[in-house]
Amino acid sequence: MRQIVFIVAVSMAMTLTASAVDVAPRISDREIIEGLGEIKTLRVEMNTRFDAMQKQMDTRFDAVNTRFDSMQKQLDQMHNMMLTMFSALIMLMVGQVGFVLWDRRTMVKPLEVGLQNLNAEFARDRTQRVEESSLFASVLEVFREMAKFDVRLADILRAKHLL
């Protein structure tokens, strides 16, 4: 009995699997050749489309490249302008430092000459004052001697606090 059940189960499984597969209709050689012709024409159309897309992409990339080149030229021009401006600024700074040093020298020289003149004048004044003070001291001494004999002169010198 087991064998019968087994045979029935196997035959049922075979019939179920056989009904699941459809039988394909026969394709003739003519249909195959027509399909290959269609595939070839599609391939040629696709190649032309791809070539057109490639040309279009090339033109777009060329346009982008020219735009990048123009931007690079502008950046180069800006770089050169900034370099020129910085160079001019540095030259102005160097010129100003040179002017300050030159002006300092030209300003200090007259001051030195004036200081030397003042020193010479001061030395002259000192010697003159020494001479004048000695002259004044000797005249005062003479008046004091005369005041011993002249009462009026003694009164005048006392009034001026010189005696």
Cα atoms found within 13 Å of the Cα of residue 131, Cβ hemisphere only: 6
- Residue 147 falls within a domain, yes or no? yes
Q: Please name the amino acid found at residue 99.
A: F
- Residue 73 falls within a domain, yes or no? yes
User: 10-residue block means of pLDDT along the chain (163 residues)?
Assistant: 74 60 72 88 93 94 94 96 96 94 83 82 72 73 85 85 77
- Residue 145 falls within a domain, yes or no? yes
- Residue 3 falls within a domain, yes or no? no
- Residue 55 falls within a domain, yes or no? yes
Q: CA 141 to CA 144: how far, in whole Å?
A: 5
- Residue 8 falls within a domain, yes or no? no
- Residue 2 falls within a domain, yes or no? no
What does the pLDDT read at residue 24?
64
For 74, the domain range is 30-159
- Residue 17 falls within a domain, yes or no? no
How many folded domains does the chain comprise? 1
pTM given for the model: 0.40
